Amino acid sequence: MRPGDHRDRPCLFRNLVPLVLASASPRRRELLSLLGLEFEVFPAEIEETISPGKPPEEIVKELAHRKALTVARRFPEAAIIAADTLVVKGKYLLGKPKDLEEARQMLTSLSRAWHQVLTGVCIIYKKKESIFFTETKVKFRELSPEEIEAYLATGEPLDKAGAYAIQGLASAFVEKVEGSVTGVVGLPLSETVEVLLKLNLITPVKD
């Protein structure tokens, strides 16, 4: 378990209960740290197999729920935040590529095309529970084979859903975004904060 990196940052909100981020993703950790909240990091280890034919929005919600439940059993006095992200291109679901060739195929399919990024979030605190998802539409400009190869060589695509990081080097590929940018990164901050406030788990910092 690791603490969130919130030191020496302005605080917009403060905790009312202990928080645990059930994710190994450094992007989600960075996003939550932006708020100034104190939290621990405890990645959830779950089986990510899903019944065939399930809608993508149900997949991300179910996986986020599984992650939150797993970690909640370890930390019964804390509020658990878990998330799962999936990229959808037409009828294809793009998770994290298993190798460079699969990443190459994903990036080629996204070139000059719209796709959707769905992020499911589950927040659990004792008997309180909220599960939701955001959908963001993203369009890439046309990518040359040379650009794709250069991006693959950086190593950035390999642990990202859809084989790209919108907040990283792939920001140079993005032509348009409709929806939550932080949802594409891995944790929709506006919607997550709204739920944390509604469940009385955090509060704005006051002088």
Those residues with Cβ within 8 angstroms of residue 109's Cβ, 6 or more apart along the chain or in another chain: 89, 92, 94
Half-sphere exposure of 44 (CA within 13 A, CB side): 26
Query: Tokens representing 33?
Result: 């740290």
Query: Tokens representing 47?
Result: 């089986």
Any catalytic annotation for residue 159?
Answer: no
Calpha distance 66→47 (Å, rounded): 9
Query: Tokens representing 85?
Result: 């992200």
Which helix H or strand E contains 188, and what residues bound it? none
Asked if 96 and 156 touch (Cβ cutoff 8 Å), the reply is no
pLDDT of residue 67: 97
Q: Enumerate the domain spans of the chain.
A: 2-204
Q: Which of 5, 8, 84, 207 is catalytic?
A: 84
Q: pLDDT tens per residue, the chain (207 residues)?
A: 455 555 566 789 999 999 999 999 999 999 999 999 999 999 999 887 777 789 999 999 999 999 999 999 999 999 999 999 999 999 999 989 999 999 999 999 999 999 999 999 999 999 899 999 999 999 999 999 999 999 999 999 999 999 999 999 999 999 999 999 999 999 999 999 999 999 999 999 986
3-state secondary structure (DSSP) of residue 53: coil
pLDDT of residue 50: 73
Calpha distance 59→119 (Å, rounded): 10
Half-sphere exposure of 85 (CA within 13 A, CB side): 27
pLDDT of residue 93: 93
Calpha distance 66→72 (Å, rounded): 10
CATH of domain 2-204: 3.90.950.10
